[in-house]
Amino acid sequence: MSTLTDTPASTSSATRPARGPRLGGMTWLVWRQHRAAYWTVLAATAIALAWMVYQRAQLMDFLTGYGWPANSIESLGPELEPYTEAFVRASTALGLIPILLGVFVGAPLLAGDLEHGTAKLVTTQSTGRLRWLAIKLGLTALLIVVSTVALSVVFGWWWSPVKEQNTVMYWTSGAAFDTTGPVPVALTLFTVVSGVAIGVVLRRTLAAMVVTFGFAVVVQLVWSHFRLALGDTVTVTTDKGVLAENAFPTLPDAAYQIDQSYLTGSGELLGWSTCAHEETEQARELCLKQADVVGWSVDYLPISQMSGMQWFGASILLALTAAVTAFLFVWGRKRLV
């Protein structure tokens, strides 16, 4: 009786199919090894997304109560300050993501295995070192892409109602440009993969984290310096003088003004401080007339270029990421362990 009653149960248990997708082999091993960092990134992303969705709902309630979009919000000043502060806090936190992930995820990814000798076990297994490297990089890159894409989309969705209001955020600032579109994804990938490369070269976790931190800060500084160079400057000129009421050219909404100069009849540009030393309006007008100033010349970037600038910059960062990845595989072929 015991044989008849126990055998079907044990057979059913043994042949019961597994439910849901499961990681296996080297992928499972990599996930288990770095699961603390991976779960931390996913949990922090989920919390940030929930907070931004809540803030967006608060902003929309305020704008709807004000009568937006029928009523323009350009005149809103102090009323927008609480929402502006929320954007500042969020953009500051999002701006730190490339640095934090580069230091705490990228740098230790292989440096820890090399430092403690764990990487040598790879050569004794059926999985080759390059496949092991590919799985480590691929799984980490997938996590980064999923997290940063979600954060970028939701932050851009939150910001979209007030996107053209410079009182909230200038679109050319890192607070907006580097946290929306493809830029945060590409910037984070480049920093993390570079951190992995630094760890592979130094082979010491702490040293790799310190150097990666310095590298990530330098990347942020260089990126912010060349950000505006990604766009095509637009120049608008006038010939109605410079002192008349409507002499200064009208720029598109949310346009970022780069420079302004006086324009002479011969096409020469003079600094806007020309004749500023004159004490009276009549004396200044006479000075400008003697300088043959006929109007203004203003250089600016329209907000319509934002998406193109972001994709152009992201393509440069992704190309650099691909170059660093190629270096890792070339290095890993002979010197990974």
Q: Per residue of the chain (337 residues), what is the pLDDT tens digit? A: 344 444 444 444 444 544 544 655 678 888 888 889 999 999 999 999 999 999 999 999 888 887 776 566 766 667 778 888 999 999 999 999 999 999 999 999 998 888 877 766 665 666 677 888 889 999 999 999 999 999 999 999 999 988 887 778 889 999 999 999 999 999 999 999 999 999 999 989 999 999 999 999 999 999 999 999 999 999 999 888 888 778 888 888 889 999 999 999 888 898 878 887 887 888 888 888 888 888 899 999 999 999 999 999 999 999 999 999 999 998 877 666 6
* Separation CA 224–CA 172 (nearest Å): 10
Distance separating the N- and C-terminal Cα atoms of the chain: 58
CA nearest 234: which of 259, 267, 201? Answer: 259
Q: Which two tokens stand for residue 317?
A: 């960062």
- Amino acid, single-letter form, for residue 248: F
Report d(CA 198, CA 134) in Å as an integer.
17
Burial readout 238-247 (b: 16 or more C-beta within 10 A, e: otherwise): beeebeeeee
Would you call 232 helix, strand, or coil by DSSP?
coil
* The dihedral sign for the CA sequence 55, 57, 60, 62: negative
What is the three-class DSSP state of 179?
coil
Which 8-state DSSP code applies to residue 258? E
Structure tokens at 169: 């955020």
Give the pTM: 0.86
Amino acid making up residue 109: L
- pLDDT tens string 54-73: 999 999 988 888 777 656 67
Torsion of CA 146, 151, 152, 153, to 10 degrees: 90
Phi (first) and psi of residue 67, to 5 degrees: 105, 15
